[in-house]
């Protein structure tokens, strides 16, 4: 049965701005004091109850060296709390955290911390922070935006209840729901090899229920849950939606950020990648006329078959260079190697993690996945028989038509759209195209990004073909009814 589930909240911000101290106060523990140098150096997940409602918190590191972990934290959460110290204001990791939150497309709450400092003019500093937030495209509610801001003290606890109340209100607005009766799906938060118990992982259940004794599938590895412990160390038999638990029984240490269960997001990523029918043809070669590949396959047997195919193609002359090959799902380390070498990533009967997918999009890396061996063979054959020089190739995610426009306060207007093809989300660029029926031509009015994507009254992560939605662009473009909106990226 589908029911309301607790929100998953990530705490992001600059080092020493009080993120862990805030969680420390909320959960009445002393995590910060026990950590090396007072800096959080591992992701943790915790739960608390406020006004009979459970909230799950993900604590992420603030130090510059832990940028990737902060990105994962934003991708795992439903709501982000951006902690800003009232005396420092926005710092480098604060701005970086804002980018992670905006990239994840989740609602944000700004918590201005350390209002207990006696030497600080709180009113003046708050206004500076609001202005700097606006400069980074974060508009607080007082300025006509949709981002709540709460001034508090994590040290004394002043106004922390107001923050928890705001989290509950934002969660209610977004109607977070799940079905506890289905098999569990979720994400790996942290993992390590324990010398006594073997591979151990902290997992966050996103939907369904995880039960002791049942199987858990991460990538292509199936393991059995031998034991589960809640964040406070208590043994549990069932982990419900939005619950973080430490799990024993993994066959090997899973990668942080990987998802377990049949995860819709990964399937959608693969379908999107496979829908690009000719990109590999257009990206066939670089200046050296050697196609650089990173290959991941489901089994060693599949990998050997692919290596044989490549060897056959290279019998006369080196056309394809295997930079890396192995079994398992496509990870962020595979994408990082591709970015450094400008290689194409190929997967056979494997998935790509959401983190890796976002990294590939940001780094303009082409990822191709196959389930049938001859499809892979045919496309590689096309590469060998007709090498092309590199150039910019465009990938279009979706097309929509503007059918209405509505005023929207100081932000301008909302474009009421009908999705004609593909999908729309807040990450990729969009352009507005206007048709000139008399001249039979099209004109690009401008390029922008989607600031807000709404379906009815609800803000959503994506909208698919056949649905109607509202889009708010940033920067605003002077569109009109009948214009086309295209979501795209350039590779």
Same-domain pairing of 35 and 161: yes
Same-domain pairing of 314 and 331: yes
Looking at 385, 417, 440, the residue that finishes a domain is 385
Sole residue written with tokens 């955290």 = 97
Could you give the CA distance from residue 222 to residue 251 in angstroms, rounded to a whole number?
7
Same-domain pairing of 315 and 442: no
CATH code at position 291: 3.40.50.10050
Could you give the CA distance from residue 178 to residue 189 in angstroms, rounded to a whole number?
20
pLDDT over 60 (residue 86): yes
Looking at 364, 385, 406, the residue that finishes a domain is 385
Same-domain pairing of 274 and 225: no
Structural domain boundaries enclosing 404: 394-490
> What is the arithmetic mean of pLDDT over 29-53?
58
Q: Which of 286-290, 355-359, 392-396, 462-466 has the lowest mean pLDDT?
A: 286-290
Query: Can you give the pLDDT at residue 26?
Result: 85
More confident residue, 445 or 261: 445
The confidence band for 73, taking pLDDT boundaries of 50, 70 and 90, is low
Same-domain pairing of 373 and 252: no
Same-domain pairing of 435 and 367: no
pLDDT over 60 (residue 153): yes
Sole residue written with tokens 């605003």 = 476
pLDDT over 80 (residue 456): yes
Task: Please give the tally of structural domains in the chain.
Answer: 4
Q: Which of 186, 244, 237, 245 is nearest to 56 (CA)?
A: 244
Query: Is the backbone peptide bond immediately before 475 cis, with ω within 30 degrees of 0?
Result: yes
Query: Can you give the pLDDT at residue 395?
Result: 72
For residue 370 the two structure tokens come to 């196959």
Could you give the CA distance from residue 105 to residue 99 in angstroms, rounded to a whole number?
10
Those residues whose C-beta lies under 8 Å from the C-beta of residue 261, and which sit 6 or more positions away, are 183, 184, 185, 186, 208, 216, 217
- How large a percentage of the chain has pLDDT more than 70? 82
Q: Which of 61-75, 262-276, 337-351, 459-473 has the lowest mean pLDDT?
A: 262-276
Query: Can you give the pLDDT at residue 142?
Result: 84
Query: Can you give the pLDDT at residue 468?
Result: 93
Phi and psi angles of residue 249, each rounded to the nearest 5 degrees, phi first: 120, 5
The H or E element containing residue 442 is: strand 441-455
Query: Can you give the pLDDT at residue 338?
Result: 83
Could you give the CA distance from residue 450 to residue 404 in angstroms, rounded to a whole number?
16
Q: Which of 307, 358, 361, 299 is nearest to 329 (CA)?
A: 299
Same-domain pairing of 344 and 373: yes
Query: Can you give the pLDDT at residue 317?
Result: 65
User: pLDDT, tens digit, for every residue of 249-307?
Assistant: 998 888 777 788 854 334 433 333 333 333 344 344 344 457 788 899 888 778 878 88
DSSP assignment of 180-225: TTSBPEEEEEEEEEETTTEEEEEEEEEESBEETTSEEEETTEEEE-
pLDDT over 90 (residue 237): yes
Residues 483 and 432: beta-carbon distance below 8 Å = yes
For residue 468 the two structure tokens come to 């109607």
Same-domain pairing of 250 and 296: no
> What is the arithmetic mean of pLDDT over 44-54?
87
CATH code at position 457: 2.40.30.10
pLDDT over 80 (residue 33): no
Query: Can you give the pLDDT at residue 393?
Result: 54
The confidence band for 60, taking pLDDT boundaries of 50, 70 and 90, is low
pLDDT over 50 (residue 135): yes
Sole residue written with tokens 């106004």 = 159
Query: Can you give the pLDDT at residue 264?
Result: 39
pLDDT over 80 (residue 35): no
Same-domain pairing of 418 and 485: yes
User: pLDDT, tens digit, for every residue of 184-211?
Assistant: 998 888 888 888 888 988 899 988 999 9
CATH code at position 69: 3.40.50.300
pLDDT over 90 (residue 471): yes
pLDDT over 80 (residue 216): yes
Computed on alpha carbons and rounded to an integer, the radius of gyration of the chain in Å comes to 24
More confident residue, 440 or 375: 375
More confident residue, 325 or 172: 172
Mean pLDDT, the chain, integer: 80
Phi and psi angles of residue 162, each rounded to the nearest 5 degrees, phi first: -65, -35
More confident residue, 406 or 377: 406
> What is the arithmetic mean of pLDDT over 313-325?
75
Residues 432 and 485: beta-carbon distance below 8 Å = yes
Same-domain pairing of 154 and 46: yes
The confidence band for 389, taking pLDDT boundaries of 50, 70 and 90, is very low
Helices 92-104 and 67-76 meet at what angle, rounded to 10? Answer: 40
DSSP assignment of 65-107: GGHHHHHHHHHH-SEEEEEEETTT-S-HHHHHHHHHHHHHT--
pLDDT over 90 (residue 148): yes
Those residues whose C-beta lies under 8 Å from the C-beta of residue 45, and which sit 6 or more positions away, are 56, 57, 58, 59, 189, 202, 204, 231, 244
Burial 441-460 (b: 16+ CB within 10 A, else e): eeeebeebebbbbeeeeebb
For residue 136 the two structure tokens come to 């980074």
Same-domain pairing of 59 and 166: yes
Query: Can you give the pLDDT at residue 316?
Result: 61
The H or E element containing residue 340 is: helix 332-341
Could you give the CA distance from residue 109 to residue 26 in angstroms, rounded to a whole number?
16
Residues 365 and 338: beta-carbon distance below 8 Å = yes
The SS3 call for residue 473 is strand
Q: Which of 219-233, 345-359, 384-398, 453-467 has the lowest mean pLDDT?
A: 384-398
pLDDT over 90 (residue 460): no
Looking at 116, 143, 177, the residue that finishes a domain is 177
Same-domain pairing of 299 and 380: yes
């Amino acid at each position: 049965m589908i029911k309301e589930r607790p929100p998953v909240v990530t705490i992001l911000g600059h080092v020493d701005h009080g993120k862990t101290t805030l969680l420390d106060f909320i959960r009445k523990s002393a995590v910060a004091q026990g950590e090396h140098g007072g800096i959080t150096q591992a992701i943790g997940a915790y739960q608390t109850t406020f006004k009979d409602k459970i909230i799950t918190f993900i604590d992420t590191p603030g130090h510059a060296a832990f940028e990737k972990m902060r990105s994962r934290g934003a991708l795992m959460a439903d709501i982000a709390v951006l902690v800003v110290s009232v005396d420092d204001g926005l710092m480098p990791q604060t701005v970086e955290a804002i980018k992670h939150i905006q990239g994840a497309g989740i609602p944000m709450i700004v918590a201005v911390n350390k209002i207990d400092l006696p030497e600080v003019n709180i009113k003046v500093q708050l206004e500076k922070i609001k202005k700097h937030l606006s400069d980074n495209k974060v508009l607080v509610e007082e300025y006509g935006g949709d981002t709540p801001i709460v001034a508090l003290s994590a040290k004394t606890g002043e106004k922390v209840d107001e923050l928890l109340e705001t989290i509950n209100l934002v969660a209610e607005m977004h109607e977070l729901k799940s079905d506890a009766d289905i098999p569990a799906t979720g994400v790996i938060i942290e993992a390590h090899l324990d010398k006594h118990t073997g591979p151990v992982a902290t997992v966050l259940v996103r939907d369904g229920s995880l039960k002791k004794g049942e199987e858990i599938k991460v990538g292509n590895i199936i393991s059995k849950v031998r034991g589960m412990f809640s964040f406070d160390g208590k043994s549990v038999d069932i982990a419900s939606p939005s619950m973080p638990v430490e799990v024993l029984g993994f066959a090997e240490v899973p990668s942080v950020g990987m998802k377990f269960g049949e995860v819709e997001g990964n399937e959608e990523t693969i379908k999107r990648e496979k829908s690009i029918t000719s990109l590999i043809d257009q990206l066939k070669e670089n200046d050296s006329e050697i196609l650089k590949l990173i290959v991941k396959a489901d089994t060693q047997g599949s990998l050997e078959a692919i290596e044989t195919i490549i060897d056959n193609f290279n019998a006369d002359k080196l056309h394809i260079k295997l930079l890396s090959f192995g079994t398992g799902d496509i990870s962020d380390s595979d994408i990082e190697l591709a970015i450094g070498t400008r290689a194409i990533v190929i997967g056979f009967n494997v998935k790509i993690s959401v983190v890796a997918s976002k990294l590939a999009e940001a780094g303009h890396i082409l990822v191709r996945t196959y389930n049938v061996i001859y499809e892979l063979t045919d496309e590689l054959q096309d590469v060998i028989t007709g090498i092309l020089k590199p150039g910019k190739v465009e990938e279009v995610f979706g097309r929509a038509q503007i059918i209405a426009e509505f005023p929207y306060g100081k932000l301008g207007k909302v474009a009421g759209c009908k999705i004609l093809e593909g999908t729309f989300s807040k990450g990729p660029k969009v352009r507005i195209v206007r048709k000139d029926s008399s001249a039979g031509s099209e004109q690009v009015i401008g390029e922008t990004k989607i600031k807000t994507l709404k379906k009815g009254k609800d803000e959503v992560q994506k909208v698919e073909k056949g649905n109607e939605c509202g889009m708010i662009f940033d920067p605003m473009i002077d569109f009109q009814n009948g214009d086309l909106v295209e979501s795209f990226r350039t590779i």
